[in-house]
């Protein structure tokens, strides 16, 4: 047989350059260790920008948060939950094995019988216990305060689900198909509210916030907690807002009014 001019054979040169590149990289790495004994790897990591480009990305000057006014939240209204399911491609089921990124809860004060309704989701803590316990570093907090799961490194141990005081995380039990292009979801990983990070990065509002104002309730306010001029900061400064389980000192990004 004569040799077949197939595409892989063309790459022989590339293979060589790949190997050479690796050797150079390895040599540089060894040289780095030998030359600079005082420099620790963490310092190098912190000094290097994440990319060479000047793209914006998440900034630590911003801290995204939500203020949920439970006095405006209507009992029986599920619009935020539906919007979240649609936006993120969730089934909408409420079984123990179904993913629920946001859920409505009804609370009742036993003595007076006063009932209240409010949405519950990932509270995007400044000190997230899910990040503390994650054995692989998959659970992480972005510079702008949004707590996410890197499913590329998640091993599905579910330790974060146990650590979360808000029961905010779900485990994907079954194979997924037809996910949303912006919201990858896969079996064997943990997931939770992402504060619609793909929309926030585009300068849009999370789906639940949009749905709530569309329904005319305006119960969820989204904004930058670090900016004293933002609407959310002004309201937090002038009205008594609460964090759920404040005693844990997690400094949640989601605050509640009227509870």
Partner 1 sequence: MAPRFGALVLLIGLLISGAVHAGDASASRVSQPVIEAARGGQCVADPAFMRRNHMTLLKHQRDDTLRVGIRTGQYSLKTCIDCHASKTTNSVAASDTNFCQSCHTYAAVKLDCFECHTNKPQVKP
Nearer to partner 1, 61 or 234 (CB): 61
Interaction of residue 4 with partner 1, rule CB under 8 A: yes
Stretch that binds partner 1, among 74-82, 123-131, 159-167, 173-181 (CB under 8 A): 173-181
Scanning 97-105, 109-117, 197-205, 210-218 for contacts with partner 1 by CB under 8 A, the matching segment is 197-205
Is residue 42 close enough to count as binding partner 1 by CB under 8 A?
Answer: no
Minimum gap (Å) between residue 38 Cβ and partner 1: 28
Token readout for 73 is 């939240």
Asked if 152 interacts with partner 1 (CB under 8 A), we say yes
Q: Does 10 participate in binding partner 1 (rule CB under 8 A)?
A: yes
Count of beta carbons in the 10 Å neighbourhood of residue 127: 12
| Alpha-carbon span 47 to 50, nearest angstrom | 9
144 in contact with partner 1 (CB under 8 A): yes
Least Å distance, CB 103 to partner 1, is 23
Nearest Cα residue to 100 out of 83, 85, 118, 86: 85
Whichever of 1 and 35 has its CB closer to partner 1, that residue is 1
Determine which helix (DSSP H) or strand (DSSP E) holds 190, and give its type and residue range: strand 190-191
Q: How far apart are CA 192 and CA 213, in angstroms?
A: 22
Instruction: From residue 219, give the alpha-carbon distance in Å to each of 7, 79, 80, 84.
Output: 59, 11, 10, 15
Q: 118 — phi, psi (to 5°)?
A: -155, 150
Q: Is 151 in the site for partner 1 (CB under 8 A)?
A: yes
For position 127 contacting partner 1 by CB under 8 A, the verdict is no
Contact pattern for partner 1 over residues 53 through 82, marking x by CB under 8 A: x-xxxx------------------------
Contacting range for partner 1; rule: CB under 8 A; set: 76-84, 193-201, 235-243, 249-257: 193-201
Q: Indicate whether 45 belongs to the interface with partner 1 (CB under 8 A).
A: no
Residues with Cβ within 8 Å of 212's Cβ and at least 6 positions away in sequence, in order, are 79, 80, 218, 219, 220
Kindly state the helix (H) or strand (E) to which residue 43 belongs, with its residue range. Answer: helix 41-47
Of the candidates 119, 121, 120, 117, the residue with the CA atom closest to the CA atom of residue 75: 117
Classify burial at 14, counting beta carbons within 10 Å of its beta carbon; exposed 0-12, middle 13-18, buried 19 or more.
exposed
- For partner 1, the binding residues (CB under 8 A) are 1-2, 4, 6-7, 10-11, 14-15, 18, 50-51, 53, 55-58, 140, 142-144, 148, 150-152, 175-176, 178-182, 184-187, 189, 197-198, 201-202
């Amino acid at each position: 047989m004569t040799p077949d001019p197939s595409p892989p054979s063309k790459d022989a040169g590339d293979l060589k350059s790949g190997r050479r590149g690796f050797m150079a990289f390895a040599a540089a790495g060894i040289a780095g260790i030998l030359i600079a004994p005082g420099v620790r790897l963490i310092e190098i990591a912190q000094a290097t920008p994440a990319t060479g480009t000047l793209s914006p990305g998440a900034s630590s000057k911003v801290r995204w948060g939500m203020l949920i006014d439970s006095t405006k939240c209507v009992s029986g209204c599920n619009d935020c939950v539906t919007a979240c399911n649609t936006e993120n491609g969730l089934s909408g089921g409420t079984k123990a094995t179904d993913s629920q990124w946001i859920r409505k809860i009804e609370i009742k004060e036993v003595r007076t019988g006063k009932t209240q309704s409010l949405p519950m989701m990932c509270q995007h803590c400044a000190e997230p216990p899910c990040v503390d316990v994650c054995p692989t570093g998959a659970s992480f907090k972005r510079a702008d305060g949004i707590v996410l799961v890197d499913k590329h490194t998640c091993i599905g141990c579910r330790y974060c689900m146990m650590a979360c005081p808000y029961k905010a995380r779900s485990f994907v039990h079954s194979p997924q198909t037809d996910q949303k292009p912006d919201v990858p979801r896969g079996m064997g990983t943990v997931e939770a509210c992402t504060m619609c990070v793909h929309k926030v990065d585009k300068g849009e509002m999370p789906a639940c916030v949009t749905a709530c104002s569309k329904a005319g309730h305006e119960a969820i306010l989204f904004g930058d907690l670090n900016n004293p001029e933002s609407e959310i900061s002004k309201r937090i400064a002038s009205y008594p807002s609460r964090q759920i389980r404040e005693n844990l000192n997690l400094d949640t990004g989601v605050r509640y009014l009227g509870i």
